[in-house]
């Protein structure tokens, strides 16, 4: 490194850097020799291995380096040291998101790999043939546990008024028609909803929702639109459904071609809170195999579906809905917002 800064100025910069992270330890010396480390990070389908070689008291020389970083976060990267990590992550935050899901099974971070191509091929085949793609153990156990802790914090925060949704509807849940319908054609659904503006900015769910590798993954599977974007809706972009006792989601179809659901907690009674859907032959498929931590991609526009009633379960069924659209300015109508969230505007006391 060549610099015109004084020693005091350099030490000031180093001190500020140390304060940014408790894991950063920097020591400084001025001498005729140089201690250095060769660091190699290998990523084997999400299994990171770090190798470090220490060589002490070498004569000073210029270390070869090259920059392969997508953004100007770090300018100089020692050759063969953090190259792989830099390709995977544009920021330290992105690297953290990389560890939130089971990347060993689902290498979303490595779009050019053979493992990713195979995953896309199998996922697309299942989604197109059945309308329902289920990816078990998508979230790590630690991630799911932390997300549930975040949700519990929201539920116990006295300043938050959560909406207990009770909706009567036809088989088209999102219909905006005001025409009269026979009472026999109505279904009823009920649940507690945590809207997007009630989810803290630093929430792990928000990080997963806005993670570009996940958005690219969904885009590659459905192949309906060239690009997908996170919704701009302040309430419905990302929301959490909680099914307590007597809650259910009755038979309906959706307006959108697909929805993404993260399964965060299943009911303690295995026969309650079950996701079911009807095939084109009107056969009812019950997904008793769904487990907490999984991801579901479903064609809700083509296949009627429901969540069976939670009756005796001591644990509520909890899932998060991730909303993406082909346009970057997607928003729900005021009618839909009022119907499902009980309001049309964002709360002022946002966390």
Neighbours of 190 (CB within 10 A): 17
Least confident of 5-9, 22-26, 52-56: 52-56
CA distances from residue 9 to 6, 35, 187, 258 in whole angstroms, order as listed: 5, 22, 70, 55
Q: Which residue has the tokens 């546990």?
A: 145
| 2 confidence band (pLDDT: 50, 70, 90) | low
Give the mean model confidence (pLDDT) for residues 88-102: 65
How is the chain split into domains, by residue range? 7-88, 114-341
For residue 220, give both structure tokens.
Answer: 């590659």
Query: pLDDT tens digits, residue range 206-235?
Result: 999 999 999 999 999 998 889 999 999 999
Angle (deg, nearest 10), helices 212-222 and 114-130: 50
Q: What's the mean pLDDT in 99-128?
A: 94
330 neighbors 229 (Cβ within 8 angstroms): yes
307 vs 161: which has the higher pLDDT: 307
User: Cβ neighbours of residue 21 under 8 Å, at least 6 residues apart?
Assistant: none
CA 155 to chain centre: 20
Partners of residue 278 on adjacent β-strands: 284
290 CB-contact burial (10 Å; exposed 0-12 / middle 13-18 / buried 19+) = buried
Distance CA(21)–CA(211), nearest Å, equals: 23
- Contact present, 77 and 66 (Cβ < 8 Å): yes
Q: What is the pLDDT of residues 243-298, one digit of tens each?
A: 999 999 999 999 888 999 999 999 999 999 999 999 999 999 999 999 999 999 99
238's CB contacts (< 8 A; 6+ apart) are: 196, 199, 205, 206, 209, 230, 231, 320, 321, 322, 323
What confidence category does residue 78 fall into, taking pLDDT thresholds of 50, 70 and 90? very low
Average pLDDT over residues 41-60: 59
Placement of tokens 């070498």 in the chain: 58
Architecture, CATH, for domain 114-341:
Sandwich (2.60)
User: What tens digit of pLDDT does each residue of 135-148 get?
Assistant: 999 999 999 999 99
| Percent of the chain clearing pLDDT 70 (strictly above) | 72
Note the pLDDT of residue 1: 55
Among the listed residues 293, 287, 291, the one whose alpha carbon sits nearest the alpha carbon of residue 275: 287
The overall average pLDDT reported for the chain is: 81
Residue 237: its pLDDT value, please? 97
């Amino acid at each position: 490194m060549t610099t015109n800064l004084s020693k005091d100025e350099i030490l000031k910069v180093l001190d500020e850097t140390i304060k940014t992270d408790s894991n950063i330890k920097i020591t400084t010396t001025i001498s005729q020799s140089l201690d250095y480390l060769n660091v190699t990070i290998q990523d084997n389908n999400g299994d990171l291995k770090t190798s470090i070689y220490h060589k002490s008291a070498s004569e000073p020389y210029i270390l070869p380096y090259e920059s392969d970083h997508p953004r100007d976060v770090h300018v100089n990267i020692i050759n063969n040291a953090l190259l792989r990590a830099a390709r995977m992550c544009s920021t330290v935050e992105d690297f953290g998101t990389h560890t939130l899901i089971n990347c060993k099974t689902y290498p979303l971070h490595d779009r050019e790999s053979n493992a990713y191509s195979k995953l896309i091929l199998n996922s697309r085949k299942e989604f197109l043939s059945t309308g329902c793609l289920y990816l078990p153990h998508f979230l790590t156990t630690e991630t799911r546990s932390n997300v549930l802790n975040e949700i519990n914090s929201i539920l116990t925060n006295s300043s938050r008024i959560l909406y207990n949704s009770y909706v009567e509807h036809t088989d088209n849940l999102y219909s905006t028609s005001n025409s009269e319908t026979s009472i026999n054609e109505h279904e009823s659904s009920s649940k507690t909803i945590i809207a997007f503006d009630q989810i803290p900015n630093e929430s792990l769910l928000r990080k997963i929702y806005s993670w570009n590798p996940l958005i690219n993954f969904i885009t590659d599977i459905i192949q309906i639109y060239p690009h997908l974007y996170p919704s701009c809706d302040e309430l419905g972009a990302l929301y959490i459904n909680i099914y307590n006792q007597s809650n259910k989601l009755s038979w309906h179809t959706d307006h959108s071609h697909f929805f993404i659901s993260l399964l965060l907690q299943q009911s303690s009674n295995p026969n309650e809170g079950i996701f079911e859907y009807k095939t084109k032959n009107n056969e009812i498929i019950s997904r008793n195999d769904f487990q907490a931590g999984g991801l579901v991609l479903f064609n809700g526009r083509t296949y009627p579906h429901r969540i069976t009633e939670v009756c005796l379960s001591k644990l509520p069924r909890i899932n998060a809905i991730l909303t993406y659209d082909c346009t970057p300015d997607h928003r729900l109508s005021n009618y839909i917002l009022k119907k499902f969230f009980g309001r049309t505007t964002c709360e002022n006391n946002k966390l």
